[in-house]
Amino acid sequence: MNGLGSSVRTPVAAMVAFSLVGAAQAAPTWMGVYGSYQRHDGANPGTYTILMNQDYWGLHAEVGVRVNGGAWTISQMAYAGNNNGDSVWTYTPSSSIPPGSTVEYYFHGYDNWGANIWDNNAGANYSYTAALVPSSKAGMGAFVDSGDTTFRVWAPNATSVAVAGSFNAWSATANPLASEGNGNWSVDVAGDLSGDTYKYVINGSLWKNDPRAVDVTNSVGDSIITAPSTYSWPSFTAPGWHEMLIYEMHVGTFNDTAGGNPGTWQTAIGKLDH
């Protein structure tokens, strides 16, 4: 409720002097959340929400946020309406936070006449761990875009997916992928990783090559991250169709040794008539 007895936000009327309107307001004595309201919704970057038990022109709210113990960033919150006489305020950052980061935050309410109120978990601040964020870039496999590298793989029955490679010392936990909810898993990794090798780690223990890899070290080796713009295409002129003999085969399995190594071009030649 505001000082004029209304349960909605009250602008300064032309007939009332600014100083009188300011003096008429009772400063908020409570700041927090209740019911279905959450201080932070758990997404990345997510939305911050806070309520105060007053609602009048000249009342403001802000949220302070810091990541991994760094400097505080103070952001103004937007007025989002009135709930049973309490003003509701929200703020959604414009960019996501690196997954796994520790995020601390607090709320501050104030008005144009010097009133202040805080919601900071009794001085300890609130905190959460930044969630994984799927890539917003289109494409499957591993590809370089805008200086970063995106990984996306279809694994509808997986409970977890990570990418391990030469860029992270083959760690099975350093770069987890986020589920997109449609069977695909994806993540953006900082930096152009062209030339690095990698595999996906499914459910923590199953190591698999990328089915969308455009290059591999060999048929049972590792996938290679390749930027199409940097690949050197050799010169090639195809013969006429009437001059071609076309085979489709998997060289590694066409004529391999039982219990031994995969087949090679040389072992394949031994089974071909041409």
Q: What is the DSSP string of 135-161?
A: --S--SEEEEETTEEEEEEE-TT-S-E
Angle in degrees, CA 91, 96, 101, rounded to 5: 105
What is the average per-residue pLDDT within 87-112?
Answer: 94
pTM of the model: 0.58
Q: Topology of domain 18-129, per CATH?
A: Immunoglobulin-like (2.60.40)
Instruction: Give the per-residue pLDDT at 255.
Output: 81
Instruction: Give the per-residue pLDDT at 263.
Output: 85
Instruction: Give the per-residue pLDDT at 139.
Output: 93
Instruction: Give the per-residue pLDDT at 3.
Output: 38
CATH class of the domain comprising 141-230? mainly beta
> In this structure, are residues 42 and 131 in contact, taking their beta carbons and an 8 Å threshold?
yes
Residue that wins the pLDDT comparison between 134 and 23: 134
Question: What are the structure tokens assigned to 42, written together?
Answer: 């758990």
Judged on CB neighbours under 10 Å (0-12, 13-18, 19+), 154 is: middle
> In this structure, are residues 143 and 149 in contact, taking their beta carbons and an 8 Å threshold?
yes
Question: Where along the chain do the CATH 2.60.40.10 domains lie?
Answer: 18-129, 141-230
Q: For residue 111, how many other CB atoms are within 10 A of its CB?
A: 19
Give start and end residues of each alpha helix (H) in 16-115: 18-24
Beta bridge partners of 74: 64
User: Per-residue pLDDT tens for 174-227?
Assistant: 899 999 999 999 999 989 999 999 999 999 999 999 999 999 999 889 999 998
Strand 48-52 relative to strand 59-67, pairing: unpaired
Percent of the chain with pLDDT over 90: 64
Query: Is the per-residue pLDDT at 88 higher than 60?
Result: yes
User: Per-residue pLDDT tens for 225-264?
Assistant: 998 766 677 888 888 888 888 878 888 888 887 777 888 8
Instruction: Report residue 15's pLDDT band, with 50, 70 and 90 as the boundaries.
Output: very low
Instruction: Give the per-residue pLDDT at 31.
Output: 98
Instruction: Give the per-residue pLDDT at 229.
Output: 67
The torsion defined by the Cα of 131, 137, 142 and 144, in degrees rounded to 10, comes to -110
Within 8 A by CB and 6+ apart from 184, the residues are 134, 140, 152, 153, 154, 155
The candidate with the shortest Cα–Cα distance to 84, out of 54, 49, 41, 61, is 54
- Average per-residue pLDDT for the chain: 87
User: Per-residue pLDDT tens for 21-71?
Assistant: 444 579 999 999 999 999 999 988 999 999 999 999 999 999 999 999 999
Question: What are the structure tokens assigned to 4, written together?
Answer: 């004029």
Which residue is it, tokens 């004595």? 29
Instruction: Give the per-residue pLDDT at 231.
Output: 65
Instruction: Give the per-residue pLDDT at 19.
Output: 36
Query: Is the per-residue pLDDT at 91 higher than 50?
Result: yes
CA distances to 118, 219, 220, 268 from 265, rounded to whole Å, are 73, 12, 15, 5
